[in-house]
Amino acid sequence: MLLVRHAESEANAGRVFADVAAIPITDRGHRQARALARHLDAAPELVVASPMVRAQQTAAPLLARFPGVRCESWPVEEFVYRPPAASEEDFAAYWTDADPRARTGPQTESFADLLERVHATADRLARETARTIVLVSHRKFLAALVFVLIAGRGRPGRRRMQRYRSFDQGLRWPNAALMPTWWEGDRVFVGPFQRFDRDAE
């Protein structure tokens, strides 16, 4: 399985959007997405993409290159834990408080909500019969998925939330980078990032 963070978005480039689901990728992001598609030597059996625009746009060149591939949209969208207009103080306070069930606005979710989606995704991947999967998602969601695959499941407590935060900060997943992930029995292995900044047109 290849876990892919979406290509550079307008928000990554510094623009603020009220609708986080509608954020598009930049011109550089489109080049990254095309470079990512060129990197794959053979068609995957399944492409999974978040419903958010930036993930769909990242997957588009891959689907254009392999038009017969099965493509599905799963609820692997980004972890939105604070409103777009939240201050840096609000941002810091959220992680300092580390309340796994706190929601900071009507269109946000809690850390417990995130883990529920991650667990459901891990279960769905375990049931999937496709041998080669490309999953296009977002940094915080992907970090949570890898965190759960490596560290195992646990209740969404304060300590687990803090451990996830440290893991996410240390991972530093670049835009359009893919991480190979595979299983050998019950053990999960993750490979190093593969980046496409230099291969972009």
Question: If pLDDT is split at 50, 70 and 90, which confidence band does 86 have?
Answer: low
Contact 3, 121 (CB under 8 A): no
**pTM across the whole model:** 0.93
Position 114 pLDDT exceeds 70 = yes
CA-CA distance, 15 to 13, in Å (whole number)? 6
Average pLDDT over residues 38-64: 96
Question: If pLDDT is split at 50, 70 and 90, which confidence band does 53 have?
Answer: very high
Both tokens assigned to 167: 């893991």
Q: Which domains does the chain have, with CATH numbers?
A: 9-190 (3.40.50.1240)
Give tens-digit pLDDT for 144-164. 999 999 989 988 999 999 999
Residue type, 110: S
Mean pLDDT of the chain: 91
Q: What is the pLDDT of residue 196?
A: 75
Position 51 pLDDT exceeds 80 = yes
DSSP state letters, 74-130: -S------S-TT--HHHHHHHHHHT-TT---STT---HHHHHHHHHHHHHHHHH---
Contact 141, 76 (CB under 8 A): yes
